[in-house]
Amino acid sequence: MKFYSNTNVYDESIKRIEYFFNEFEEVVVGFSGGKDSTVTLHLALEVAERLNKLPLKVLFIDQEAEWQGTVDYVKKVMYNPKVKPMWFQMPIVITNNASTEHRYSYCWDAKKKDEWLHKQDKISIKKNIYKTERFHDLFKAIFQVEFANKSACYLAGVRTQEAPKRLMSLTSGLTYKDITYGKQLTKRLGHYTFYPIYDWEIKDVWKYIYDNNIEYNRIYDEMYKHGVNTNDMRISNLHHETSIQNLLLVQEIEPDTWNRVSSRIAGSNSIKHLKTDAFKCPKELPYMFKDWEEYAFHLADNLIKEDKYKNALYKRIDKTKKYIINDFIKQDVYRNIINTILSSDWDFTKLNNFLSSQYFNTVKKYVDGKINKDNIAINRKYDKYIKGLI
């Protein structure tokens, strides 16, 4: 477990959550069925029970194309008498990263009820009254409607260990008073998101679950049996940009789910047959291209159907060009751009993680004049990366 000077991440997280209950009129835990939101939920339940704040509001936006194991686990949580469920199974639109032709998936479409990937639960919220159908906008919109006249905070299970970008964004500025580990939802209404376990490591997460005998999503065990690296285990909708590789496992782990997904989600069957080549840059440059840059632009011109995504990608490339100061960096940049194109990651999650990495940041700081050669630490593993700088 990671230690501070006189305490540990568990104690610090409990203090944070206690503060939120005392500071805000409403505290809502965001739940995905994953390990991090499981820990956040149980920490909040500990505090809520001690402060006589039960039942605890728990929010889950069901994206329909979920593991059945996730749906089963979420249901157990939502039926816990200590929980006040905010389980949304309502019409929403999410990005389909399994296909370049069919960019969106329309969840809970009443006209296609017979094709739903799982049934709606009797306690779920089925009507969308929040004036948006886009997933990423819903959290803010839900709070604006449900807590229009109250201060409220949303507790999410985000940890900085999983992505360098998160570490930078959560430690570089204030969100609320002296707190950095969060973001504003609607400041004028007093609505915020906080990440109370942002400094936990993955071993802390599993230790807390084990020590407290907490039930967790069984899909993790199945992934482990199939050799998935612990850091690559993702419990999210099955065609999300960071979990699309799960489509390669669904047929083995949940055959019935696969039968429904393959007939409903455009592109899923192709990914199953192409395997990792469907969404990952190949190890070797295809022989017909002179370099990775030419290959990247060929893919962009032929695979990106919507101009807004193509233009957004080209803007990212233009902003990055000045940092491409040697051939090794050029190859790495364009291979990551290829990954973005092949996985249809138009939130640029993977690309942003690369551009926020320690080594690329060193290059950016050097080119921008924020550091000089004497400030660059030499790492032999990445000596090609900084060739020309020192």
The residue type of 118 is H
Q: d(Cα 130, Cα 28) in Å, to the nearest integer? A: 17
Give the pLDDT score at 320: 94
Give the pLDDT score at 74: 97
Which of the listed residues 160, 179, 203 is the one where a domain comes to its end? 203
Residue matched to tokens 């059945």: 68
Residue 212 lies in a domain: no
Give the pLDDT score at 367: 86
Which of the listed residues 187, 203, 219 is the one where a domain comes to its end? 203
Same domain? For 297 and 196 the reply is: no
Q: Which helix (H) or strand (E) holds 220?
A: helix 219-225
- The CATH number assigned to the domain holding 198 equals 3.40.50
Same domain? For 168 and 19 the reply is: yes
Q: d(Cα 262, Cα 254) in Å, to the nearest integer? A: 12
**Residue 46 has what DSSP assignment?**
H
Domain range for residue 81?
Answer: 9-203
- Average pLDDT rounded to a whole number, residues 173-180: 88
Q: Which helix (H) or strand (E) holds 104?
A: strand 104-107
Q: For 310-358, how does the pLDDT look when each residue is reduced to its tens digit (9 = 90+)?
A: 999 999 999 999 999 888 889 999 999 998 888 778 888 878 888 887 7
Same domain? For 189 and 315 the reply is: no
pLDDT(271) > 80:
no
Instruction: Name the domain count of the chain.
Output: 2
Provide the whole-model pTM: 0.76
Residue 189 lies in a domain: yes
Residue 261 lies in a domain: no
Same domain? For 167 and 22 the reply is: yes
CA 20 to chain centre: 23
pLDDT(69) > 70:
yes
pLDDT(244) > 80:
no
pLDDT(200) > 60:
yes
Answer with the residue of higher pLDDT: 331 or 384. Answer: 331
What is the pLDDT confidence band of residue 270, given thresholds at 50, 70 and 90?
Answer: low
Give the pLDDT score at 17: 98
What is the pLDDT confidence band of residue 163, given thresholds at 50, 70 and 90?
Answer: low
Residue 253 lies in a domain: no
Give the pLDDT score at 387: 62
The lowest-confidence range among 12-21, 207-216, 317-326 is 317-326
Neighbour count for residue 390 (Cβ, 10 Å): 13
What is the pLDDT confidence band of residue 162, given thresholds at 50, 70 and 90?
Answer: low
The lowest-confidence range among 63-77, 350-364, 366-380 is 366-380
Residue 248 lies in a domain: no
pLDDT > 70: percent of the chain? 83
Give the pLDDT score at 5: 62
